[in-house]
Structure formats: C-alpha cells, structure tokens
Amino acid sequence: MHKFTPLFALLLFMTGLVHARDPATEVDTLMARYQGEVPGASLLVIKDGKPVVSRGYGYANLEKHEAATPATNYRLASVSKQFTAAAILLLAERGKLGLDDHVRHWLPELPAEHEAITIRQLLSHAGGLIDYEDLMPADQTTQISDADVLRLLAAEPRSYFPPGTSYRYSNGGYVLLGLIVERASKQSLQDFLADHIFRPLGMTHTLMYVHGGPEVTHRAYGYSEENGQWTQTDQSPTSATRGDGGIYSSIDDLAKWDAALYDHRLLSDASRQLAFSPQNKVIGETDVDSYGFGWRIHGDVRWHSGESMGFRNVIIRWPKQHLTVILLSNRNDPEPYSTALAIGEHFLQP
C-alpha cells in the first residue's frame, strides 16, 4: 500500500485522481460580479435534496446598505409563470376547469376571433395573442393592471398565428391564466397562491405582490447601471401585472418549491408530468427545445428565466441528477443563465 505522502498526493493530482478544489470553492469566482458594494444576488445549489451552496452577495438595498442573504425576497418576474401554471393544474385536478376549455368560456370579454384558444395553449405559449406590451400607449407611465391587459386584448382581434400552430412567448397569455384562476376558484390570484401553494409548502415569506396588500419583507430593490453608476429602477409600467411575473420569493423558500416538484405533496404525478413534458416545440432559441407548462425544456434540463426592470433571475433543474441551481439578482446585468449553468456543471455527475 502506498504511504500518502505530499509527493504521492501531488502525483495523484497530476494524474487526475484527486481534484485540487471542491466544486463549492469555485462558486465565489463565478459570482465575482455580484460581490462588493453593488446590487447583489442570492444563490442556491441543491444536490440530492440538500443545499450545498446557499449564499448572498452584494446588496439588496444600496441606499440602506442592506446585504443580500438567502432570506432576501426578489421579484421573480417570469419565474412566476411556473406558479401560475401550477395553480391552473391544481384547479384542473379538482375539477374546477379543464385544460382544453376555451379561454373565452372563462373570459368572454375576448373577441370572437379568439374563440379557438384553449387554456392548454396559453400554458405552452401556443395561443398566438398579440403582445400586450405592444398594445400599450407609447407614453404609458402609470402601471398597467391585469384588468387593463384584458381590456387591451379584448379590443384586439388580430393574432400572430392560428392557435396551436406555433410558439410565441406570451406574457399576456399568463396574465389571462391568472384571471382564469380567479374566476374558477372565486379567489384573488394572490390569495389562491397563498392558500393552496405557498402556505402548504411552508413558503411563509413568498407572496404575489399587489399594491395595498401585504408588504414584501426582506425586499430586494432593483437597479440598473447607467454611466457607471447604479440607479434604482425597481418598477416599470408593466411591474404590476401578476400572472406573468408578480411573485416575490427567496432562495430559502424556493428550496421548498423545488422539493415539492419531486413528489405529489402539491401536484399529482400526472400534473407534474404535463408541466415538465414538451407541449410546444420551440425553434430558434438557444438552450430551448420546447416549452412545457411554465418550464423551458432542453434535453434533460428544465429551466426558466425571469427578467423585469432591475431584476434578472433563473432556476435550472437537472431532475435526473437531483440537482437545482437558483440565482436571483436585483440588477439589470449580467444575465444569470450562463453563470448558473456553469455553477451547476461543477456539481453534475459524469
């Protein structure tokens, strides 16, 4: 038997039998841009159900010098879509609606030209609806509500393609899904999510924020870099819509969400299979083969990003390897997908 001497250790390293550094030690290097007196980020890596990295970097609030931590709550932006999709799936399981219901059954305000669109098609971005952002007045300064989005789409008979024939990412479609949740459940969207998803999973600091409702605790404020200076850019005219992006959460709470996606504590096996299976083919997008219900699909990876004024977020899951990376940031740059992907690759099994 070899005696484990420093020279033998060096030989093992040189032959690749011993790695010089643990994967977790590489994380800070990859997260360097978020460190210091700058808008920051919170990072979570979960492997086999256990957090192997859970860290905050930089500031959640520059003006008050409040550090970002694992408990900091960020505006999730489009990462919220997976929760809206889950709400629809829960209602379908309970017989309150059908995935193949026509959207106009629940939202008769929409024009007859949209009669063929189904809930299933909105979930997978196959509805073809015109982007509501393109229907807003160019000089819009006040925040638009979900009811405003419905009014804009109700007055717009055009579509990009016949429903079910193509793919186009649609924030408006998910706003409509949130309104359908309300009409089918007879609860506000924020109350339905709290009662049927957040509280049952113990996500006690997660909420869908609405003006006049409960305030966001441990809140991160969004920033954008302008001329070398960070300026708070926390809200925009589209920051008040809900079903497409209105949730605030932390990596601490999202760890509980991630755990629930492996079993039937929230959704049935059939519902989770629908959410994570290809429902609509995506062409021309990097690292996206198809879209499920609230999730992008690329090979064995399930992921989603979220971007709004001053926030850039991503969740990437490798379900077969029981690995998840969640990176939430309160800044307009960098886009975090490539960073989170590089972090995840350090923990993947060969």
Instruction: Give 163: exposed, middle or buried? Use CB within 10 Å, 0-12, 13-18, 19+.
Output: buried
Q: How far is CA 114 from CA 122, 148, 164, 173, 349, in A?
A: 12, 18, 12, 12, 47
CA 165 to chain centroid: 25
CA distance 35 to 57: 5
| Among 306, 312, 314, CA closest to 342 | 314
Of residues 299, 296, 302, 306, the one with CA closest to residue 327: 306
Task: Sort strands 311-318 and 229-232 into parallel, antiparallel or unpaired.
Answer: unpaired
Three-state SS at 321: helix
Is residue 161 within 8 A of residue 213, CB to CB? The reply is no
Helix (H, G, I), strand (E, B) or coil at 134: helix
Q: Which residues pair with 142 in a beta bridge?
A: none
* C-alpha span between 21 and 17 (Å, rounded): 12
Sign, Cα dihedral of 192, 194, 198, 201: negative
Catalytic residue among 78, 170, 250, 290: 78
Catalytic residue list contains 268: no
Catalytic residues: 78
